Structure formats: C-alpha cells, structure tokens
A = this chain, B = another copy of it.
Amino acid sequence: MLAIMIGVTACATPAMQSNVSETVEQQILDAARSGSQGYLIVEGLTTEVGQRLAGTEAEARARDWTVEKFKEIGLQNVRVEPFTIPGWERGVETATIVSPYPQQMVVTALGGSVATPFGGVTAEIAYFPTFEDLVSAPAGGLDGKIVFISGLMDKAPDGAGYGPANQKRRSGASEAAKRGAAAVVIRSVGTDSHRFPHTGQMRYAPDLPKIPIAALSAPDANQLERMFEREHSVTMALNIQPRASGDMPSGNVIGEIVGTERPDEIVLISGHLDSWDLGTGAIDDGAGIGISAGAAQVLIEAGLKPKRTIRVVAYGAEEVGLLGGFAYRDLHKEDLINHVLATESDFGSTPAYEVLLGVTEGQEVIKAAADALGLPMGERGTNGGPDIGPIAALGVPTMRFQQDGTDYFDLHHTPDDTLDKIDPDDMAENVAAFALMAWLAANAETDFRSDTGN
C-alpha cells in the first residue's frame, strides 16, 4: 500500500492536489485524457453530416446521426424530443459598391432577416461608426438608405466583447427601420481579419417595418470605412434572398446512463446539435456534442455506474433563439425539480481556465472537481450555458467550465468553423472535465438543489 501511494505521488501532476479519492476519479481523468472519445464524435458529426442549420433536413440527418451515435456508445433511453420552429434558409446574397469605387463585397444575410426586394435594393449608404451612433441619431433622415454599422469587437477569454458588439446584429435592423432605412449592413460581429462574414440570429422589434440586414466581412467593412474617409457619398446595391420556410421540425436528442440508486435524479450535460450553415459547425457546437457525449462514453467504457442518472442532451435549434432549450424547459416542466445539476459546452473546443458556479448548495463537489482538474473557481456566476438558461431561470442548479474563448470569435458563425480548428488534446481535456464533474455530481451525497430553488 505504501509502495502504491508513493507511485501515485510520483506520477501525480500539479493538477492532482485534491481531496478527490484517487481510484475512480483518476481512472476517469486518465481514460479521457488518453482517449479521443470527444474528438471522434465531432469528427464524425462534422464529416458525415456537415452543416446542420436549424429546421433543415440537414439538422434532421444530424438527429438521426446522433441517435445512432448515442446508441453506439452505449447510452440508454435514446430518443428525440421533437418540436417545431419557424424555418429560415439562405438564398442569393451579393453586395456591390456601385459608386464611387465599383466592386463586390463579401456579405451574408443574418439569420431571420427578410429578403430585399427581388433584384435587390440600391441606395446611398448612411455610415455609423458604432451602434451607439445609430441609436443616438435623430428620427428620419435615413429614408430609403442602406445603413452601415461598424464598430470593433474586443477579444477576451470569457467572450465579454460579444454582448456589446452583438447589439448591432440583434437590434440594428429595427433601429435603422425606426429611422426610415431600407436595409442594413453591419461589420461582422467577430474578432478576425479574414474575408469571411459572420452570420448569426437577428431580431425584429414588434410594430416596426422589417428590413433586410446582412453582415460584411471585416476586410470589407474596413474597405467601406476607407471609402467614407475619401467620399461623402457611397452607393451600394444589396441583394439578399433568404426565405422564411414556415414551420419546420427540430428536436433535442437525449441519451442517458441510468442511475443505479436515484434514477429519477438527473445530472444534465449538453451541447447543441444545430449549427449555422456557412461552416460545418465544428467549434459551434460539434465540440459541445463531442465533449458531453464523449464524457458519457468515458464513463460507460470504464463500466462505471452512477447513482443518479447522467443525461446527455444534444439541443436542436440553439442558434435561432435557444429554441431547443425552451422546448426542453416546457416539456420537462414538471420534472425540473429532479434536475440536480445542469451544464452545457458551447464555447468551442479549448479547455477551461476556471469553473463558474450557478448553485448555492453542494459547491464543495464542484470545487473538488475543479481542484482535481487544476482549475480555479471564477468570480462570476453562471446560468450553465445558453440552452441551460431557460431551466436555470426556473431554479435548476448549474455550473460551467469557462472555456478559453479568446480566439472563439475568429471562427464563430463563419465558413471557417471547420474540424481542422479543433485540437484533439483540447477535446480530451474537456471530456475529462465533463466526465469527472458528471460522475461526482451523480454520486454526491450532498444535493445542489437549495430549498428556495424551483
């Protein structure tokens, strides 16, 4: 026994100064870190399905693929919980500077945007360096114009720049419509300087005209700004022809490791299955599917039987408004009281640098997992992830591994979101974190559900 302890001590990494018992937990970490369970899942999904736009037949194929994969890795109770969403699909999209410097730009429609009139709209551009400049512009004065909203996004590990930069994507169309504009182009919400536009969902405010909105790549936004440095009047022809395709099927794919002692109590780990249509949805969010399902696979392969049920959810239709997350909330409303802990990976494939708490009870279990992984606890709280938000709002306890998203928005929602951007070792580390956390939460004697929750 002494010899074994010495051996363990000699092999221990700095991350292993923990009070986690070293037998099963270390076995989980080792199996995940030396395996490629998560990477192979995202590799399969992105290769064999590719893009998976919500509501399309591609997303349906992704559900079929995931059902098969979940069964293959040994999950139980594999099923799809279907729901219906408003479909939207991309069409022709072109942006041309007509004058003073005729040239094509690289553009993509934002999700949910209406089309321009057939053949497009040609108009003078009204340039706003930032979204705030548009919001503070007086009513009127933009009649019939194409509004261009620029503004840079800051890089940050936690993606803190996304919210502010995203205002123009979310609300740019209605703010411009309010002032009479005919259409909007924005500088892509992103942190790269490649000639890719970033798509993403937009929203129309009620009671305002719906006008088309599209995103230019960063180099094209720079180009437009240089034109405005030279000339007061720049005219663009914008033609985007996306279409609303009516009610379309989506669904959440679910699989479980049924608990041995408290099977009704759920530890939920998840990612989202749908992607935008420009890339193959590798970092957003094939990675999250691989991380959560791969974590379950590690436990199954090790023959480990958790006391509570570990549920893996592959949410549908996240990109278009967390529709899978809301559908889950609605379908499981009566059952949410049994959700002990929930989390999601939806921030790429790089490993976590801190752990965030969305619980008041049972923090010691999450801290033990963080210790075992060598991760500090973060200061901020969490709602567990985008699709967890709706159930977190009703009291489901959550935690989150805060993955390093410094470079996430270089790729996010672009054609460049492809498998080659994922490091298999990163995936393995994330799988280790999810497997360990799920295991500890499923077996913890303490509960995460406070009396005031639910």
Contact = CB atoms under 8 A, between A and B. Distances in A.
B418 A219 contact: yes
Interface stretch (A71-79, A98-106, A244-252, A264-272): A98-106
B104 A51 contact: yes
Contacts of A380: none
B103 A49 contact: yes
Size category, A interface? 35 or more
Contacts of A226: 43, 47, 419
A193 to B, nearest CB: 5
Interface in A179-210: 193-196
How many monomers of this protein are in the complex?
A: 2
A97 B47 CA distance: 11
Contact of A420 (B61, B196, B218, B230): B218
A279 interface: yes
Interface in A15-62: 43, 46-51, 58, 61
Contacts of A300: none
Nearest to A226: B47
Contacts of A319: none
A25 to B, nearest CB: 34
A103 B56 CA distance: 12
A218 B415 CA distance: 12
Interface string A381-420: 0000000000000000000000000000000001110111
Contacts of A280: 103, 219, 223
A420 B49 contact: no
Contacts of A104: 50-51
A450 interface: no
- Kindly list the 3 A-B residue pairs having the minimum CB-CB distance in the complex, ordered from nearest: A50-B103, A219-B418, A195-B415
28 contacts: A43-B226, A46-B223, A47-B223, A47-B226, A47-B227, A47-B230, A48-B101, A49-B103, A50-B101, A50-B102, A50-B103, A51-B104, A58-B102, A58-B103, A61-B102, A103-B280, A193-B421, A194-B416, A195-B196, A195-B416, A195-B418, A219-B418, A219-B419, A219-B420, A222-B418, A222-B420, A223-B280, A223-B418
